[in-house]
Structure 1
């Protein structure tokens, strides 16, 4: 049963969403790859081979640098390690992240020819954390994809936030939010849109 908070259903608690994430987590990477936007799918097909991510969590200093997809499948161990790094540190709550988010990050880093670690400012947010942030700022959505493990707020050293946002927007990769004043970009694996 989906939990209600502030009059909205929590998307991460919907049974259908939970089942879908479990299927993805079970290693059926092919299903997730089919759901990619055409631009991401084309970029992945052109690159072939392994998909690599370099991540550093700002709040905890934890990092990951390695392959998360190879031989047509997501690496379960790598996904578990990434889930921990992308957790909600204020609640110390881990959720299965949508691997398509990692595909978005990989594709953008490759497009920008960057081998730097993404600095992750926000990954998964528990509904309580998101609600608290929404009360503090109108810029935080009350139904954020962060609560579904489908979004991250990131920086990429050596690249301006606007360059990351433009690359993602030009490639029509998910949601792209530019927070120029704060120096980061929101990226998600939801429908293509920008703000």
Structure 2
């Protein structure tokens, strides 16, 4: 089981997996670089430089979870981030990508402001371009340039909290994008530019 597994035809049989970035790497880099320049400073301001930041996440499709510290002593914990990357992988492709740690800051901030101790239930984290394309063909609500493909977004819910209340709070915090999917009972949260739908 590899953390960064892909099925890029150009990379198959290559001796060095780093020699070929593949389509996903290039797409993720373009999206990530484009939005990194517009990173919301509001996240850092609201979190401060506390000694630790923790998060609790469970994945709906796999039942896997993470509950622990992902930031300590002024820096992100690499081992914790790798575990979170795997929990938020694309289960359809069994593929993970490095998630943007600012996404965990958004989730941490929203959960903290809601004074919740529940785990975020994640419906969709990272999406491989193939998975995103399948979803975009099936629904107009799925963006073809989704931040899910660059590890900057997740669709989630908090048990015992309604999606409208979560979306309103997250939008007020202006820490990134907020999408309300009231009928489905979840919200989209990301660490891209502040916007709502």
Q: Deviations over 1:53-95 (max 9, x none)?
A: 0000000000000000010010000000000000000000010
Q: Which runs of 5+ in 1 are unaligned?
A: 5-9, 21-31
Question: How far off its partner does 1:40 sit?
Answer: 1.6
User: Partners in 2 of 1:39 and 1:74 — Cα distance?
Assistant: 18
CA distance in 2: counterparts of 1:3 and 1:76, whole angstroms: 25
1:72 and 1:147 map into 2 onto residues whose CA distance is 28
1:39 partnered with 2:42: yes
Gaps of 5+ in 2: 1-20
Go from structure 1 to structure 2 and tell me whether the alpha carbon gap of 1:109 and 1:36 turns closer, same or farther (over 3 Å shift): farther
Verify: 1:68 aligned to 2:63, yes or no. no
1:2–1:13 Cα contact (<8 Å) kept: no
Q: Which has the higher helix share?
A: 1
- Between the aligned partners of 2:32 and 2:148, the Cα distance in structure 1 is 14
Partner of 1:12 in structure 2?
28
How many residues end up aligned between the 2 structures?
176
Q: Larger relative CO (CA 8 A, sep 6+): 1 or 2? A: 2
Q: Secondary structure at the match of 2:70?
A: strand
Larger Rg: 2
* TM-score w.r.t. length of structure 2: 0.83
